[in-house]
Amino acid sequence: LGHQWTLRIYPGGTSNSDDEMVSLFLKKVSNKGIKIDLGFSVKDSNGQHGEQIGFKYVNVPARKSNNGKTNFARRSNILISLVEGSLVIEVRMRLAEPAKTIPSPFIPENPACNAIQKMFMDEKSSDVVFEVQHLDSGESNPEKKAKITPTTFYAHRLILQTCAPQLAEMCGGPMENGSSPPVPISIPNVTPKIFHHILNYVYGGEMA
């Protein structure tokens, strides 16, 4: 795995071991971190695994460190596993696989909201017309007031009925079949800018 290791065995255990227990540690001497699955086992003369530690995940830091078990096995069990007077220990290491992340399911964006917003002020598909005329309250001359051109807003009866019923009520009953353009509906006492914000909000836009 590209690292240097030493195996340390303490037949009499360490200061933290129980009586008659053998301690076993694997020490990394190279200065580089690694994440591994680590396991130990003692092999007897028949090649059978005796005392062992199954694979466990170990995050070995870059600095030198020991990984193993203080109470690995009883000394008496180790002695009967000797092969011609030698202790055979198998060390098993493998690179730890990174945790697999489950991708989030693909959920397509609902196009209805965007479609409705795109219909805002669409003259071609509209069946309702509003006219808003902002009169300067300081202007007293009726002739000058009459010269101010109203601002036209285009809307859709079905959207108004669903999202702005009070505006829908101003449109009267159902439209009659025919190609004649809708009669403009006058909106009093409101500026074109404010009515634009209101109508845009009805179509799913944000209130500025």
Residue 168's pLDDT band (cuts 50, 70, 90):
very high
Across 163-168, average pLDDT: 92
Give me the numbers of helices (H) and strands (E) for the chain, helices first please.
6, 9
Q: Does the structure show a pLDDT above 70 at 53?
A: no
CA 30, CA 143: separation in Å to the nearest integer? 94
Nearest-Å Rg of the Cα atoms of the chain is 42
DSSP state of 17: S
The mean predicted confidence, pLDDT, of the chain is: 81
Distance CA 207, CA 199 (A): 10
At 137 the pLDDT is: 53
Q: Is 197 left (phi over 0), alpha (psi -120 to 50) or beta?
A: alpha
**pLDDT at residue number 179:** 57
90-145 confidence digits (pLDDT tens): 888 888 776 666 777 888 888 888 899 999 999 999 999 999 987 565 555 655 55
Beta-bridge mates of residue 128: 155
| Residue that wins the pLDDT comparison between 196 and 179 | 196
**Which pLDDT does position 57 carry in this prediction?**
60
Please provide the distance, in angstroms rounded to a whole number, between the alpha carbons at the two ends of the chain: 60
* 160 or 138: which leads in pLDDT: 160
Q: Give CA–CA dist 13/137, Å, rounded.
A: 97
